[in-house]
Amino acid sequence: MSTPELEIMALRERLDVWSLAYHRDDNPLASDAEYDTALRRLRDLELLHPEYFSASSPTQRVGDTPLGEFVSVGHKLPMLSLDNAFSGDDLAAFEERNAAKLGVHSLTFCCEPKLDGVAMSLLYEDGNLVRAATRGDGSSGEDITHNARTIDTVPLRLRVLSCPKVLEVRGEVVIPRGAFATLNAQQAQRGETVFQNPRNAAAGSLRQLNSRVTATRPLVFMAYAVGYTEEAELPATHSHTLAYLRDAGFKTSGLIECVEGWAAAEHYVERILVQRDAMDVDIDGVVVKVDDFAQQQRLGFVARAPRWAIARKFPAQEEVTRLLGIDYQVGRTGAITPVARLKPVFVGGVTVSNATLHNVDEMARLDIRIGDEVIVRRAGDVIPQIVRSLVDRRVGNPETVIFPSHCPDCSTPLTRDLDEAAIRCDNRTGCPAQQKAALEHFVSRKALDIDGVGEKLLHQLFDTGLVRSVADLYELTVEQVAALDRMGLKSAQKAIDAIDKSKVTDLHRFLYALGIREVGEATARALAAHFGSLDAIASASQNALEEVSDVGPVVATHIRRYFSLESNRRLIDRLLHVGMDWVDTQESSHANAVLAGQTWVVTGKLESMSRDAAGALVRRLGGQTVGSVSKNTDVLLAGPGAGSKLSKAQSLGLKIIDESEFAKIVSEAGV
């Protein structure tokens, strides 16, 4: 071989290996710059030596001249759909049916996530990609070879030792959630269509006549089956075939598992369901497949679905319901939140009758009208959202919803700060809704945690005029509380005791309880740890405040504004006067700050202490604690029963420790 030919071959091989490591294994072997330099070199050499052209070169993924129209192609084997199972019982029946037909007691199943994307079939002849097609009606689809070739996870050539003459690989084209968010942000910025969800975006990107557009979309192909073959030596089971496809260069799900019997399959379903929200791709269930090909063959098909596979569907995360009205809630800081009142609908595993509309901008974007049919989404623990209105189903021309101009509670004209999404009622001290919300915040668990004084009692106290500000709570008598409607002497005493007990607290709780705008629990902790006393915080300069890890210019301004108001200073004086007290710590000691600079999350049930106590220990050792796992988390302390936080930490490759390891760190630090 000539020198340029050798170099071209070597570059192609190296780029293929790097690409697989990056796209299939999420384990980059080279930097982006190294990859780009090698690709450029290869392109230059190929231009100089057109005689060594190869359609499977990594340079051939950029997209072609646009097509005039799509061509229909027949599938050599139909692309089937799947029957659905909605419960463990359905899976049990599925196993019983098949085991009886085969004359066996139980079956080995291959379980895999059911990816919520677009099906695609890839045809390889002598190892080269020759055609890609959509599912279409199952018998024939559209030729999308030009688009498939631009997808990094579609091998242009199989990496196998002995090439099958013909091999058809089937799988799902998806867009990962993170990439979807970025794509939509770009689309919006360019004034182009914003996609409803990753599946629609994947479908739209695959059905492009211009493959240069497809090339810019973050599509990922994940293989899940083999279709038609000629002269292919494939393994005897589905699970081994997936491993074969992976070796051949395809991305496959990392969550594939073989199990014995339906109960184990259902157990797999439960484990995947817990991880669902933390995953990077949308899934809508689990596919359970009889693993043995010989058994699959004997079971065969009914109508358009195989007998040997079933889709165990998850509860839908989106449903259609009707918008009955919109309420406007006044928050603690005066922000007005529009809340959609919905005809109750079962979605994401619960009945939903309200959904947040966030703010005036979101309302404008949705342009919903009262009476509209709307799509409601509830994913995991996230509060229900309205995705969009089904405008086509709108009857007549209902009026546009107009955001109120005055506070629904105190009638003060509403204002909107420049560059802020929220519309507010600025009547902070006189607006009953805000005063009540401030009281609720003050007694809440993360603030002063006054057990026995709930929302109902607070509203009664407020409405009867007994309590207008949080300081009034500490001047209440048992008799006053006992005289309220439906209050006995015993519960009144309990409430007063709880209020009394709350006087001894921590600086960070007190600070959080004050309800300073943008000062959440974590910020309050950071401020308390940094300054050590309330006086130091109240008199801190803008610059001094901004030195605290959690505090930026906006938060610092809110803190300064809070303490500059005479009414707030008076309130604090009154609270101190009634006996609120905590131990000031001066600048936190750094002697045993072994966790300094680290961010921890605590989850699950711990044996020897509560999660709060563990968090306090982390902070005492100089670490920071947060509530949710992200790529910025350093360590997850996980006890038994840890759920989605654990799986997310695993998927992000974070350090995970158990209670005994934690105990060791604590004792080694001498605490």
Q: Are 167 and 145 in contact (CB under 8 A)?
A: no
Please, what is the minimum distance in Å from the beta carbon of residue 282 to ligand IVH?
Answer: 10
Nearer to ligand IVH, 235 or 488 (CB): 235
Nearer to ligand IVH, 81 or 557 (CB): 81
Which amino acid makes up residue 245? L
CB-based contacts of 160, cutoff 8 Å, min separation 6 = 127, 244, 247, 248
How many C-beta atoms surround the C-beta of residue 91 within 10 A? 23
Please, what is the minimum distance in Å from the beta carbon of residue 29 to ligand IVH?
Answer: 28
Nearer to ligand IVH, 225 or 352 (CB): 225
Q: What is the rounded CA–CA span in Å between residue 648 and residue 645?
A: 5
Please, what is the minimum distance in Å from the beta carbon of residue 187 to ligand IVH?
Answer: 25
Beta strand spans in 60-188 (E): 72-74, 83-85, 108-115, 118-125, 128-134, 140-142, 166-174
Please, what is the minimum distance in Å from the beta carbon of residue 224 to ligand IVH?
Answer: 4
471, 474, 502, 573 from 577: Cα distances, Å: 9, 10, 14, 6
Please, what is the minimum distance in Å from the beta carbon of residue 212 to ligand IVH?
Answer: 26
Judged by the rule CB under 6 A, the positions of this chain that interact with ligand IVH are 80-82, 112, 114-115, 119, 135, 172, 224-225, 287, 306, 309, 311
The region that residue 632 occupies, defined by phi over 0 for left and psi between -120 and 50 for alpha, beta otherwise, is alpha
Please, what is the minimum distance in Å from the beta carbon of residue 135 to ligand IVH?
Answer: 6
Identify the burial level of 210 via C-beta atoms within 10 angstroms of its C-beta, where 0-12 means exposed, 13-18 middle and 19 or more buried.
Answer: middle
Q: What is the rounded CA–CA span in Å between residue 639 and residue 650?
A: 14
Q: Is 645 a catalytic residue?
A: no
Nearer to ligand IVH, 39 or 79 (CB): 79
Q: What is the rounded CA–CA span in Å between residue 272 and residue 125?
A: 36
Q: Are 312 and 285 in contact (CB under 8 A)?
A: yes
For ligand IVH, which residue has the nearest CB? 119
- Six token digits for residue 146: 């030009």
Q: What is the rounded CA–CA span in Å between residue 21 and residue 25?
A: 5
Residue closest to 79 by CA, chosen among 122, 121, 131, 142: 121
How many C-beta atoms surround the C-beta of residue 581 within 10 A? 11
Residue closest to 572 by CA, chosen among 635, 513, 630: 513
Please, what is the minimum distance in Å from the beta carbon of residue 119 to ligand IVH?
Answer: 3
DSSP assignment, residue 292?
B
Please, what is the minimum distance in Å from the beta carbon of residue 85 to ligand IVH?
Answer: 12
How many C-beta atoms surround the C-beta of residue 370 within 10 A? 14
Q: What is the rounded CA–CA span in Å between residue 274 and residue 278?
A: 8
Nearer to ligand IVH, 172 or 440 (CB): 172
Is 262 in a helix, a strand, or coil?
helix
Please, what is the minimum distance in Å from the beta carbon of residue 171 to ligand IVH?
Answer: 8
Q: What is the rounded CA–CA span in Å between residue 421 and residue 398?
A: 26
In the beta sheet, which residues pair with residue 341? Answer: 325, 354
Catalytic residue among 76, 101, 114, 645: 114
Catalytic residues: 114
